[in-house]
Amino acid sequence: MTSTLAEPAATVEPSATVEPPATPVPQRLVLVLPTDARFDSRTYRIGSTLAGRGHTVTVLARAGRDLPADELHPAGYRIVRVPVSAVDGLPLPAVACRIIASAWRRRRPMTDPGGTAAGEAGDADARDADAQDAAVVLGARSARAPAGPGPVGTIARLVQRAISAAVRMAAIFMTVRSQARALRLVDPGADLYHAMAYMGIPVALGLAGRHPGSRVVYDARDIYVDANNLARLPRPVRMVLGWFERGWARRADRVVTVNRPYAEVMAARWDLPLPAIVLNCAYRRHRAEPAPRRFHEQLGLAASVRVILYQGGWSPNRGIEQLLEAILLVDNAVLVLLGYGPLARDLEVAAKRPDLEGRVHLLPAVAPEELLDWVAAADVVAMPIQPSTLNHRLTTPNKLFEAMAAGVPVVASDLPGMSGIVRDTGCGLVCDPTDPGAIARAIRAILDAPEPERAGYRERALAAADSVYNWETQAEVLLDEYGRLTGRPW
């Protein structure tokens, strides 16, 4: 790994050369999501920015429990949601699929492809990529007979794994087909389709193909075949999925991603020019003084208790398990987990352990437009993401930029994707994310520092967010790409 992958200056270089856009010409933008759009901060930022500039913005998403099929977001863009399931995507006539799907839904509640009730799993970082990864599972669990020891047991395990992988791959394509079929009925047409994630791009390409002159942007927010559930699939399956993604990326008019390390990997794998880099930063925010005390008020904490915040997806390898152990080594502090995800039940059980009771609190995810007010109420934001995949090693998570915008110091993984930003801005400390003791020492180093030193972390975080790591700056890069594609300023 070369050191250039961690260079924050290289990551943000494109934004430094972008001139302020000309007066926008009203155009139509459609964002295609493989989630229900509730917690997708990137979609919120793009939608609110473009709607605020006078464009017509429609988000085409998946149906979710208790969510309206058609709603106008307060930021000015429209969200249209359609029911999606792998059953609906079976290669059968639409009428037959509807009959089978209706029977399936009566048998079990409508679920997202991750097996969670639709709407309970939003986006990966939905605010990251976990929702997309969960889509691989389809909500179906293959029956697994216990495999015995010896050669016969080994063969049985290999066969089970192959069947499971085949089911998962089929589920991806049937789910994509289901969403594409449903969205054709509600697609308003657009000058530009912006597709989120690997399950959104084939749908967007299909919709754009029905409107001559429409352009397509593929927003590849993760290295998907090396992330989470997909990374655990057998190599031949991942190669097939990677081949399809490469084809979709090459058919798109432009690929966009969230940091330079990802862009370099994608350019090499897909034999494309370097994708446009649009960091997933938060809007600039004026820090209120004194800082809000939302967690203390919500949880009834004593004023002296320090709050360590983890916010985002409750998924394996995000460092949550390590934080549960680390908080025991930090005096007069609690760990707040603000989010959602497949680890919810395990975390509820863990929070009731005698040694963790009262030290760990779980709170539901909040909408993107409210998030920074909650983040600003923390003393430290922790993100000890584990080096479990290439995607995790190179990630620059949303929560890093959200903490900076809120003026809260961070404790982050000493990994190539984020360590350079943390060190260069001085917004916090990095540590070995696999070691709860190292995580605790970094947290204590910030919490127990003299007040001028703690204030320094806050001031440096805000200064970096105000000057470079903010959505206003990054949006200019995106607007420039949009204008180049359609020939009219956005």
Packed helices 235-251 and 150-183: angle between N→C axes, nearest 10 degrees: 20
Same structural domain, 101 and 130: yes
What pLDDT is attached to residue 156? 62
Is the domain of 230 the same as that of 373?
no
Q: How many domains does the chain have?
A: 2
What single DSSP character describes residue 111? B
Q: What is the pLDDT of residue 103?
A: 59
330 and 230 part of one domain: no
128 shares a domain with 31: yes
Separation of alpha carbons 221 and 276, rounded Å: 12
Is the four-CA dihedral 478, 369, 433, 313 of positive or negative sign?
negative
Domain span at 69:
11-277
Q: Is residue 411 part of a domain?
A: yes
For residue 304, give the 3-state DSSP assignment: coil
- Same domain, residue pair 19 and 66: yes
Same domain, 172 and 43: yes
Say how far apart CA 104 and CA 108 lie, in whole Å: 6
CA angle 224, 229, 230 (to 5 degrees): 45
266 and 302 share a domain? no
- The per-residue pLDDT for 94 is 61
CA torsion, ordered 354, 359, 362, 368, to nearest 10 deg: -170
For the domain that residue 377 is a member of, what is the CATH number? 3.40.50.2000
Looking at the fold, whether 243 and 342 belong to one and the same domain comes out as no
Q: Tokens standing for 372?
A: 């920074």
Using H for helix, E for strand and C for coil, what is the string for 4-65?
Answer: HHHCHHHHHHHHHCCCCCCCCCCCEEEEECCCCCCCCHHHHHHHHHHHHCCCEEEEEEECCC
CA proximity to 380, closest of 299, 311, 282, 468? 311
Query: What average pLDDT values come out for the chain (490 residues) when binned by 10 residues?
Result: 35 44 90 95 97 98 94 97 82 62 52 32 35 37 51 63 71 89 96 97 97 97 90 87 96 98 97 97 82 91 97 94 98 97 95 96 94 96 96 96 96 96 97 98 98 96 96 97 97
Element (H, E) at 379: none
* 3-class secondary-structure state, position 121: strand
Helix (H, G, I), strand (E, B), or coil: what is residue 209? coil
- Domain assignment present for residue 480? The answer is no
CA gap 360, 325 in Å, rounded: 10
Task: Supply the pLDDT for residue 158.
Answer: 60
Same structural domain, 48 and 147: yes
